[in-house]
Copies of this chain bind each other. A is one copy, B any other.
């Protein structure tokens, strides 16, 4: 965003830090992430990257505290990074993380071995990510709005009730109940099914086309109902494909039980989770720390996000939810790898679907 920092310029309003301050901050963040204990000047002095004495470090720490990168829980305690401190660490200091060999293997085993519908894959991916990082994980799948409809069918359950089942080209299946005011026989349903199939095939849930009259008023009323029902299914927030993996890990991450409760409560609200991840990504971030995302009850949490991208389009996200003192490099690496692999997987599926659709064959026999 801003111009490259001049190393020796005085810190411009907390924008940059000179090399020594940065090294000290890095040492503090690293140690605090490991020990969860406030870090004192002598510990910092022990770090490889810092060569000055504890006394000098102390005076630097005073400055870092004044600028908001550190806080002291109380006088005569060590320092603890603030959200701003973590932010600087993530933006300027953290060396890109790497997955360990066993982790790497877990991931590749997972993606070569996993099978099942897309919902299954997403669900299990959330477990994988949680497993890799020991944090709670979240996977938000591609919204179904944009996927072309592959098949629509109306299945009667009773004379006045039916199910409309739409299969999308990404392999997702949306189904909604339909309730009729008058009784419909199976032949009418079957005709409506065929009619809908002809009209809807290839369009998306976000833009279902209008339905031309068929000449049969019952069929037309079923179709009209089907159209509104399917359009509603695409509305965000109703049935977003959200999968949460390993929420129990949260209990290990925080010692205050009310914090755990607050975070769990957030995770129960799918809509909130979706918009949280979307907001973070839209702000161009991969990490949101503490107060950076607006949620009060996530104040002691950090969120690490990686996008799912299919054909260059954003198609969901994977995320990790942990304490602000989490291992950012490792978490970012894990999210990144998993996000990327998941993207590839979905892309491969979808690519195959499109290739087969392109010859313009009609699905109807």
Q: Quick one: which of B161, B255, B261 contacts A252, CB cutoff 8 A?
A: B261
* Distance of A260 from chain B, by nearest CB (Å): 5
Check if A15 is an interface residue, CB within 8 A of chain B.
no
Check if A171 is an interface residue, CB within 8 A of chain B.
yes
Check if A355 is an interface residue, CB within 8 A of chain B.
yes
User: CA–CA, A6 to B173, complex, Å?
Assistant: 62
Render A155-166 as a binary contact track against B, CB cut-off 8 A, 1 for contact: 111111101010
Contacts of A247 in B (CB 8 A): 247, 264, 268
Q: Which of A92-100, A187-195, A339-347 lies on the face that meets chain B?
A: A187-195
Taking a contact as CB atoms under 8 Å apart, the answer to whether B246 and A251 are in contact is no
Contacts of A193 in B (CB 8 A): 365
Check if A362 is an interface residue, CB within 8 A of chain B.
yes
* Distance of A48 from chain B, by nearest CB (Å): 35
User: CA–CA, A289 to B292, complex, Å?
Assistant: 44
Check if A363 is an interface residue, CB within 8 A of chain B.
yes
Q: How large is the interface on A (under 10, 10 to 19, 20 to 34, 35 or more residues)?
A: 35 or more
- Residue from A157, A349, A363 having most chain B Cβ neighbours under 10 A: A157
Contacts of A151 in B (CB 8 A): 153, 155, 165
Taking a contact as CB atoms under 8 Å apart, the answer to whether B155 and A186 are in contact is no
Q: Known: A117-B175, A264-B251, A268-B248. Contact between A186 and B361, CB under 8 A?
A: yes
Contacts of A177 in B (CB 8 A): 115-117, 171
From A185, which residue of chain B is reached at the shortest CB distance? Answer: B361
Check if A356 is an interface residue, CB within 8 A of chain B.
yes
Check if A144 is an interface residue, CB within 8 A of chain B.
no
Contacts of A116 in B (CB 8 A): 176-177
Check if A74 is an interface residue, CB within 8 A of chain B.
no
* Distance of A198 from chain B, by nearest CB (Å): 14
Taking a contact as CB atoms under 8 Å apart, the answer to whether B171 and A163 are in contact is yes
Q: Quick one: which of B117, B248, B356 contacts A176, CB cutoff 8 A?
A: B117
Taking a contact as CB atoms under 8 Å apart, the answer to whether A158 and B364 are in contact is no
From A184, which residue of chain B is reached at the shortest CB distance? Answer: B356
User: CA–CA, A207 to B356, complex, Å?
Assistant: 34
Q: Known: A167-B163, A352-B161. Contact between A173 and B173, CB under 8 A?
A: yes
Contacts of A158 in B (CB 8 A): 349, 352-353, 355-356
User: From residue 191 to 224 of chain A, which have CB atoms closer than 8 A to chain B?
Assistant: 191, 193-194
Q: Quick one: which of B150, B159, B185, B265 contacts A155, CB cutoff 8 A?
A: B150
From A119, which residue of chain B is reached at the shortest CB distance? Answer: B175
User: From residue 323 to 365 of chain A, which have CB atoms closer than 8 A to chain B?
Assistant: 349, 352-353, 355-356, 361-365
Check if A9 is an interface residue, CB within 8 A of chain B.
no
Check if A257 is an interface residue, CB within 8 A of chain B.
yes
Q: Quick one: which of B153, B161, B194, B356 contacts A156, CB cutoff 8 A?
A: B356
Contacts of A257 in B (CB 8 A): 251, 254-255, 257, 260
Taking a contact as CB atoms under 8 Å apart, the answer to whether A187 and B255 are in contact is no
- Pull 20 A–B residue pairs with CB atoms less than 8 Å apart, ordered by A: A115-B179, A117-B176, A153-B167, A155-B167, A155-B363, A157-B169, A157-B352, A158-B349, A158-B356, A159-B352, A159-B355, A160-B352, A163-B167, A165-B165, A187-B365, A247-B247, A248-B261, A251-B251, A251-B258, A254-B257
8 additional contacts, CB 8 Å, given A161-B353, A246-B268?
A156-B356, A157-B353, A158-B349, A165-B165, A171-B177, A190-B365, A191-B365, A247-B264
